[in-house]
Structure 1
Amino acid sequence: MAVPAAVIGAASFGLASALQQRATKEVPTTGALDPRLLLDLVRRPTWVLATGTVVLGLALQVVALAFAPLTLVQPLLVTGILFGTIFSAWLGRRRLDRQILLGAVACVIGLATFLSLARPSDSSTTLPGLPRLLPLAVVLAAIIAGCLGVAVASRYARGARVAALALATGVCYGVTAGLMKVVTGQIRAGAPAEIFLHPAFYVVCVLGPVGFLLSQNTFQHGVLIAPALAVITIVDPLVGIAIGVSWLDERLDSSLPVLVGQTISAVVLIGGVTLLAHRGTRVRHEIERRAQRCVEPR
C-alpha cells in the first residue's frame, strides 16, 4: 500500500511544482519568506490548482508513512523530479530537453538505488530524549539559517540564491516528513486525539508552511524547474533518512556489497545533479541574452 501511494504522491508533487513555477513567474518578485508572495499567488487559479495537488500528494505521503519506514517512503518520492521535469516541459509547450531529462533520470536512479539498497527496517514512532534529539536538530537549524542568510544577501548571484532557497526547502520538507512519521504513528496506535498533545504536530504545522513558502521563492527566482527541484528532491529524503536513523531507530544495511552499490549510485547521482546544474546555467544565459537583444534599441 505504501509504494503506490508514495509514487502517486511523487507525481502529484511533480505536477504541483510545474504549475507553481509557472504561477510564480506571473507575480511580482519578493524576498525570502515574504508572505506577500502567497497573497499574490492566491489570486492565480493555476496556483490554487497546484496547491490542491500538493494537498493530495501530502495525503498520499501520510498514507505511505503510516505503513512503511521513513527510509523507504522518502526515496520513492525522489521520482517527483522526473514527473516535475516532464510536466514542466509539457505545460511550456516545448520539446523535452534531452540533457535535463537525462539528468533528472540519473538523479532518480542514483538516489533511489542509493537509499533502497540499505533495506530499511521498521522504525519507532516515539522521539528520543533531548540528548539524542539536539545534535541533529542544531545542525539542521544551522543549515536553514545559513541558507536564509545567503538568500537575503543581495551580493550573491541568482544561482547561489536559488541553491540556498532550494537547500532550505529540502531541509524543511525532510524534517516535516520525519515528524509526520511520528504523528502517523500516533494515529495507527489508535490515539488520534493525542496528536494534538504531541509537540511534533505543532512543529509540522509551522515548518511545513515555511518550507512551502520557501519552495515558491525557489521556483520564482529559478529559470528552470529541474536544477532547483533536483536540490529539493535530493536533500528532502537525505534529511528524512538522517532523522529515521538518528531519532526513530531505523536500521540500514551497511554490508560491503551494499556500500559498493551505494558508492556507484552516488556517482550516478552526482553526475545527474552536475548535468542539471550545467544545463540549467546554459539555458538561463541563453534566455538572458535573448531578452537583452529584445530590449536593445535598433
Structure 2
Amino acid sequence: MCDGGKAMVVGSAPLFGVLLALVSAAVLAVGNLWQSRGVNLVSAAAEASGENKTPFLALLRTPIWIAGSALFGVAILLQMGSLAFAPLILVQPIGVTALVFSAVLNARVRRKPLPRRVLLGIAISLIGVIAYVIIAALVSKQKPISDGQLSAILITLAAVLAIAAAIRFGTRGTAKAPIFYVVLGGIFSGFVATLGKTVILRVETMFAGHRMVFDSGSVLTLICVLGIGVASALSIYFVQYSHTCNPPDVVIAGLTVVDPAVAVVLGITILHEAAGAPVISFVGFILAGAAAFIGVVILARAENAEEDAQSTETIERGAQRSAESA
C-alpha cells in the first residue's frame, strides 16, 4: 500500500521526459505508416483472391508490417520511459506531434502538398490539445496513488471493456463508422499510459521507502500490470483494424487526441490531479477538447475526400489505358 505521507519521486527530469515523448511520437508516426502499408498490401492481396477479411497470418509474413509493429513497440517503450521522468499530464499529450510527423510523411509518400483542409484539421487539433495541456499543467498536482485509486482505475477499465464488448458483439452485422475503431484504440491506449504511470509511481514509492514487502498493494500492482497487457492488446487490435478502413493520418489523429484525453480525464477524476482547480479551468478543458475533436473530424473528412479523389483518378487512368490499348 502506498504511504500517503511520503512524496513520490516523479518529474525529476521533465525535459528529458519531454524529449523521449517527442522521439516516441516520431517513431509512432513511422510505425503507423508502415503498418498501414502492410495492412493495405495484405488486404489488396486478400481481395484479389476473393477473401473478405485481412488474414492475420499473412500480416506476419509481411516485412513492412512487422517493421511497423516493431516501431510501434519501441514507441510504447519510449512513452513509458518518458513517464518515468515527467508527470503523465505533461508528456502524454505531446504524442499529438505524431499527427504532424504522420501528415508530413504521408505528403512525401504521395509526392503532393498537404491540402488546405488537412492543414486546417491538423492546426485545430494541435491548438486544442496544446491548450488542453497548458491548462492541465497549470492546475495539476501530482499526489501519491492509493490502493483505492488504483482499484478505481482498474474498475473503470473493466467497465470500458464490458461496454466495448457489448458494442462490438451486440451490434454484429451493423455497419459502424470507421472512426469508431480509431476511438476504441485511443481509449485503450490511454489506459495503457495511465496504468503504466501508476506502476512506475508505485515502484518508485516502494524503492524510495525501502519497502520490499508483498502485500495487498503489491497484488493490486500486479493486477495493474495485467491490465496494461490487456489494454495494450486491445489497443493494437483496434489500431490494426482501423488501418483497413481509415487513412493513416486519420488513425494517428484519433490516437493522438483520444489517448491523452482519456489519460487526463483519469488523472483529474480518479487521481485528483486537478483538485482545487478553479471552475474556469474545467471550462477550458471542455473547450480545448471540443476544438481537438472538431479538428479530427475535419481531418477525417478531408483525408477521406483525398482518398476518394485518388481512387477516382486511378480508375480513370485505368479506363484510359484500356481504351488506348483497344
Same fold (TM over 0.5): yes
Q: Which digits, 9 at most, give the CA deviation of each residue in 1:212-268, with x for residues without a partner?
A: 12111101221x222232222211111111222233332267435545654553453
User: How far 1:135 sits from its partner (Å)?
Assistant: 6.4
User: How far 1:25 sits from its partner (Å)?
Assistant: 0.2
Instruction: Specify which of 49, 53, 69 is matched with residue 71 of structure 2.
Output: 53
- Give yes or no for the alignment of 1:124 onto 2:144: yes
2:50 is matched with none
1:16 is matched with 31
How does the TM-score come out when normalised to structure 2? 0.76
- Give yes or no for the alignment of 1:168 onto 2:187: no
In structure 2, distance between residues paired with 1:281 and 1:175: 28
User: How far 1:169 sits from its partner (Å)?
Assistant: 0.5
1:166 to 1:291, Cα distance in 2 relative to 1, 3 A? same
1:83 to 1:149, Cα distance in 2 relative to 1, 3 A? farther
In structure 2, distance between residues paired with 1:261 and 1:171: 21
Contact 1:10 1:78 in 2 (8 A): yes
1:44 to 1:261, Cα distance in 2 relative to 1, 3 A? same
1:147 to 1:9, Cα distance in 2 relative to 1, 3 A? farther
Instruction: Specify which of 290, 300, 303 is matched with residue 277 of structure 1.
Output: 300
Contact 1:14 1:83 in 2 (8 A): yes
- Give yes or no for the alignment of 1:42 onto 2:60: yes
In structure 2, distance between residues paired with 1:294 and 1:155: 34
1:156 is matched with 175
Contact 2:181 2:242 in 1 (8 A): yes
- Which deviates more, 171-180 or 103-112? 103-112
2:7 is matched with none
Larger radius of gyration: 2
User: How far 1:293 sits from its partner (Å)?
Assistant: 4.6
2:91 is matched with 73
- Give yes or no for the alignment of 1:25 onto 2:40: yes
Unaligned runs of 5+ in 1: none
SS of match in other structure, 2:120? helix
Instruction: Specify which of 218, 227, 235 is matched with residue 258 of structure 2.
Output: 235
- Give yes or no for the alignment of 1:84 onto 2:102: yes
RMSD of equivalent CA atoms: 3.2
In structure 2, distance between residues paired with 1:100 and 1:252: 37
User: How far 1:179 sits from its partner (Å)?
Assistant: 0.8
Unaligned runs of 5+ in 2: 1-15, 47-52
SS of match in other structure, 1:180? helix
- Give yes or no for the alignment of 1:183 onto 2:199: yes
How does the TM-score come out when normalised to structure 1? 0.82
1:145 is matched with 165
1:199 to 1:135, Cα distance in 2 relative to 1, 3 A? closer
1:215 is matched with 239
Q: Using the aligned pairs only, state the percent identity.
A: 23
In structure 1, distance between residues paired with 2:133 and 2:202: 26
1:127 to 1:105, Cα distance in 2 relative to 1, 3 A? farther
